A and B are shown apart, each in its own frame.
Chain A
Amino acid sequence: MTSRTEWLRTALLATSLTVFVNNSALAESAVPAAAAPSEFKVTDFLLDNGMEVVVIPDHRAPIVTHMVWYKIGSADEPPGKSGIAHFFEHLMFKATTNHAAGEFDRAVSDIGGSNNAFTSYDYTAFHETVAPSALELMMSFEADRMRNLILTDDVIKTERDVILEERRSRIDNNPQAVLDEEVSATLWQNQPYRIPVIGWMQEMEQLNRTDAVAFYDKYYRPNNAVLIVAGDVEPETVRALAEKTFGKVARGPDLPPRVRPVEPEQNTKRTVTLSDARVSVPSFSTQWVVPSYHTAKPGEAEALDLLAEILGGGNRSRLYQELVVRQGIASASGAYFQGTMLDDTNFTVYGTPRGDAKLADVEAAVDAEVARIAKDGVTDDELDKAKDRYVRSMIFARDKQDSMANIYGAELATGGTVQDIEQWPDRVRKVTADEVKAVAAKYLVLSRSTTGYLLPQQQAGN
């Protein structure tokens, strides 16, 4: 069935009225790679200057995906400088001492390649997909801009206007995004995930050349970067090319461990409400602070992944079957867990009413399912099927080179290792029904949660 957004794209001949936030990389990074056959051997090593390198073989086609991940994201920003990580990602496409502005982009498009970059809470990544013969050229451009950017006030000012426009487009024009931003700021009382990746408008407006240069000098160093090369290339070739290019960049000062403020004990249920004239159908989501793969005790994050799948991972999940199918009160309901994060992360349930059902009915029914899974746990059949779906999704992930590169990049940028990914399927397989019940009971406690309501205007004050 065509989703509404797809209808917009096809029926209306143009796409820019819809804001596309690309979630696919996220979904993928939550699903580590398959237990692989022997020819699928991932290689990793360190350059002398501290840059990590991961090579993922994929010889189906003569192409490579080349990614440089920096272990710097919005959650590492100095106070008052929100948005600098993302802003800096944009600035990385400007002139360097060796290449004029736009030269890198033209070099990529001249060979029919593609390039882009993205920023999240814990990392910033730059990537190109090209023929293997162009790998060295890509590496030399990336190594060059790691240290040789020229940042003038003019460049800063124009690009700052672009990110302000990006904020208006992604957030300010969209009531759901405005609410999400404030729910995060409420869920997180102390952790920097409370601040939006794109930044707060009034702080973005003040970002300047001094901020950018300081940020660049501190974080854009080989010893703070991970190189991922996936595709039709041998590890020894990658090593030789990497040494010739990135290897020539001097190691920077050692960065302190990424120890960021963490959450205090949370003891309240908080609600955030946005009523907006553009909204016709209400919706809600409830979030909890839970451990991520990096912060969890052994097995807990895997159990949370399975909990999210069983509770709300698709149309066989409890929430969908109970609320959408059996009770018929919701048009949508589900759950998700974002496990690939450096610090504690969030677990979310959500729902939207349909027909004559009230939002409160849907919320109560979701709460009841959460309470039931925490009290009675999951069946062995549910657990086995959820595990099967994960294993399957890992096999499907191998069908896309960039999926694999993203999985490894996100894992390594959030404190994980290649081994963590390789062992992940086994760890998932070992999770017991009792462990799933235990994390539900431990973490999904309503008296310490944050709920966001998106309401039509006339329901204001409800």
Chain B
Amino acid sequence: MSLVLERLSVIPSTEKEEGKVYRACATLCFALFFLLLPVLAARAMEIQEVTSPKGVSAWLVEDYSVPIIAVRFVFGGGSTQDPPGKEGLANLMTGLFDEGAGPLDSDAFQIKLDDAGAEMSFDETRDGIYGSMRMLAEQRDDAFDLLRLAVNEPRFDQAPIDRIRAQILSGIIAGENDPDTIAQNRWARAIYGDHPYSRNDQGTRQSIAAITQADLRALHKDVFARGGLHVAVVGAIDAETLKKKLDMVFGDLPAKQTLVSVADVEPKLAQHVEVNYDLPQTSLQLAWPGVKRKSPDFFPAVLMNEILGGGTFTSRLFEEVREKRGLAYSVNSSLINQDHANALIVATGTRSDRAGETLAIVRDVVKRLAEDGPTEAEMAATKKYLIGAYAINNLDSSSSIAATLVELQLDDLGVDYMQRRAGYINAVTIDQVKAVARKLLSAEPTIMVVGPPLAAAGKG
């Protein structure tokens, strides 16, 4: 029973620029109704760089208006660190941090956490293992102490391992006949070949069965080290108090991580993938090359993507596919930046008997942008939007601010990035956007069709 229907389903903020933030937000802030203007970055949100006596650094936004503290941190090296044959290891590990640590078994740990009025969660991506905690300021000592135990002394007891593994297995099995899951697995293999990015983070039936307690301990030892750590804290806590907590939680971890190196990979283009099912709606997904976060093309590409199919109701794809023709409810483009791969993705869902027509229109919109570039009016409007809307996707609660600050650290953007960001956007010229559009969108994309065979559905 869907209780609430939105005009446009809010897709987890495809934070078009700080690529990884998009993922953090997917976890933390599903509903994005928010806006902080750039003035906020300058005026209200003062970021302090805090370093503890033992050398643990964090970015802190001190704010007492709500009596809570949000903590977010990441250790670099996520599911790409899963050894071959043990895929799903990092994912399983993130399910076990509240399942017993130090002297506390699973039950005792969870009861203490509940009594402390705190919420703790861990999750992994391909490139990192993230932890989050939200606590009441008045119970911060108990909460930080539990976080210390979880980070330093996870028990990985056999009973919770088996239980969480069984839950993951259930999820893997549940996807085995699901067209979307099957399609996304096919897609990852098509795009990434045998690169670790092609693997499903959850692993396979066989790989998760092979994981042992020793594997978990080894991964924890290799990844949980100060060398790969970034921390952000937002809320009712001062710098001096935070320094003590940082030392307590992270200060005794090893200095250096031991990571398997991961190669960069270019998405493989010019493929046609069909996953045929008799579905009333066909999903279309298209991939073009992306740009690196540190590339000079980055901000031009951000503008280009926004104009093509970004987060507003005014993009070209929204206008042509939905507003003018009613062919889809959702159509969008996203720039994806990961540590080792970048891409531009367009996705939509459209009635199966008109999927060919929709695909042709999407490709035509892309082609026109590649050939002609944007208009001056689009440039001006999109710059204003991107500058103002940054915080909508990134700063709408203490937790999301903390998540954003961790991503800024990962991307090495500097503590004053929010003040500089508008300047980067304003400096982009229409010629730069034209050039990047030509460069990226002239490529032959990889296309995936999930639904009835496209030919049978009739090309438009």
Show the binding face of A for B, using Cβ within 8 Å: 1-2, 4, 6-26, 58-63, 65, 86, 89-90, 93, 101-102, 105-106, 108-121, 127, 129-131, 157-166, 168-173, 177, 180-181, 183-184, 196-198, 277-281, 315-316, 324-325, 328, 331-332, 338, 346, 352-355, 385, 388-389, 392, 395-396, 398-402, 405, 456
B94 touches A62 (CB 8 A): no
Tell me whether B329 and A63 are in contact (CB under 8 A): no
Sample of 16 A–B contacts (CB below 8 Å): A11-B200, A14-B285, A15-B12, A17-B285, A62-B40, A90-B7, A102-B323, A109-B312, A109-B381, A109-B384, A158-B324, A161-B327, A180-B2, A198-B2, A316-B111, A405-B33
Question: Are A24 and B31 within 8 A (Cβ)?
Answer: yes
Q: A63-B37, A401-B396 are in contact. Are A281 and B174 (CB under 8 A)?
A: yes
- Asked whether, in the complex, the Cβ of A399 is within 8 Å of the Cβ of B12, the reply is no
Give complex CA distance A65, B397 in Å.
13
Contact call A165/B385, Cβ cutoff below 8 A: no
Distance of A170 Cα from B68 Cα, bound (Å): 36
- Enumerate chain B interface residues (CB-CB to A < 8 A): 1-12, 14, 23, 26-27, 29-37, 39-40, 43-45, 63, 65-68, 70, 91-92, 94-95, 106-107, 110-111, 114-115, 117, 119, 122-126, 134, 136, 163-164, 166-171, 173-181, 183-184, 187-188, 191, 197, 200-202, 267, 277, 279-281, 283, 285, 287, 312-314, 319, 322-332, 334, 336, 343, 345-351, 381, 384-392, 395-399, 450
Cα distance, A118 to B8, chains bound together (Å): 8
Asked if residues A114 and B4 are in contact (CB atoms below 8 Å), the reply is no
Give A5 to B420 CA distance when docked, in angstroms.
Answer: 34
**A198, chain B: closest CB distance, angstroms:** 6
Quick check: A162 and B34 within 8 Å, CB to CB?
A: no
The answer to whether B174 and A22 touch across the interface, beta carbons within 8 angstroms, is: no
Report whether A280 and B175 are in contact in the complex, using a CB–CB cutoff of 8 Å: yes
Q: For B381, list chain A residues within 8 Å (CB).
A: 106, 109-110
Known: A61-B36, A112-B392. A7 touches B200 (CB 8 A): yes
Asked if residues B179 and A112 are in contact (CB atoms below 8 Å), the reply is no
Most chain B C-beta atoms within 10 Å of own C-beta, residue among A22, A62, A86, A355: A22
Q: Which residues of B contact A197 (CB under 8 A)?
A: 2-5
Shortest Cβ distance from A92 into B: residue: B7
A118, B326: Cβ atoms closer than 8 Å = no
Q: Is the CB of A169 within 8 A of B330?
A: yes
A2/B31 contact (C-beta < 8 A), A17-B285, A93-B7, A169-B281 known: no
Distance of A127 from chain B, by nearest CB (Å): 6
A164 touches B351 (CB 8 A): yes
For B45, the chain A residues whose CB sits under 8 A away are 61
The answer, among A86, A181, A400, for a CB contact under 8 Å with B396, is A400
Q: Assess whether B44 is in contact with A89, with CB atoms less than 8 Å apart.
A: no
Contact among A121, A129, A278 with B179 in the assembled complex (CB-CB below 8 Å): A278
Inter-chain pairs besides A10-B125, A164-B326, A165-B281, 12 sampled, C-beta below 8 Å: A6-B23, A10-B201, A13-B336, A62-B43, A63-B36, A109-B313, A109-B314, A113-B392, A116-B6, A278-B179, A280-B176, A325-B107
- Cβ contact within 8 Å between B397 and A62: no
> CB within 8 A of A60: which of B65, B115, B176, B325?
B65
Q: A2-B94, A129-B33, A331-B170 known; A399 and B329 CB under 8 Å? A: no
Partner of A109, one of B177, B183, B329, B385: B385
Report which residue of B173, B324, B388 has the largest number of chain A beta carbons within 10 angstroms of its beta carbon: B388
Q: Which chain A positions have C-beta within 8 A of B37?
A: 62-63, 112, 131
Expressed in whole angstroms, the minimum distance between the Cβ of B459 and any Cβ of chain A is 19
Which B residues are in CB contact (< 8 Å) with A389?
114
- Nearest B residue to A161 via CB reads B326
CA distance A101 to B314 in the complex (A): 11
Evaluate contact between B170 and A354: CB separation under 8 angstroms: yes
Q: How far is the CA of A402 from the CA of B35 in the complex (A)?
A: 10
Q: How far is the CB of A442 from chain B (nearest CB, A)?
A: 23
Given the known inter-chain contacts A62-B40, A105-B312, please indicate yes or no for A165 contacting B351, CB distance below 8 A: yes
B35, B107, B174, B325: which contacts A131 (Cβ < 8 A)?
B35
Contacts of B319 in A (CB 8 A): 102
User: Contacts of A23 on B, CB cut-off 8 Å?
Assistant: 3-4, 30
Given the complex of chains A and B, what is the CA–CA distance between A116 and B5 in angstroms?
A: 11
Contacting pair A21 B2 (CB below 8 A): yes
Looking across the interface, which residue of chain A has its beta carbon closest to that of B40? A61
Collect the chain A residues with CB atoms within 8 Å of residue B164's CB: 1
B contact residues around A127 at 8 Å (CB): 33
Q: CA–CA, A196 to B397, complex, Å?
A: 32
Please state if A354 and B31 are interface contacts (CB–CB under 8 Å): no
Whether the pair A2, B9 counts as a contact (CB closer than 8 A) is no
Are A6 and B94 in contact, CB atoms less than 8 angstroms apart? Answer: no
Chain B residues near A198 (CB, 8 Å)?
Answer: 2, 5
- A352–B168 Cα gap in the complex (Å)? 13
Q: Across the interface, name the chain B residue whose C-beta is closest to A405.
A: B33
Residues from chain B with Cβ under 8 Å of A113 in the complex: 35, 388-389, 392
Judging by beta carbons under 8 Å apart, are A14 and B347 in contact?
Answer: yes
- Of A13, A118, A168, A278, the residue contacting B6 (CB under 8 A) is A118
Minimal Cβ-Cβ distance residue in A for B290:
A13
Select one of B36, B201, B350 contacting A165, CB under 8 A. B350
**Cα distance, A311 to B285, chains bound together (Å):** 41
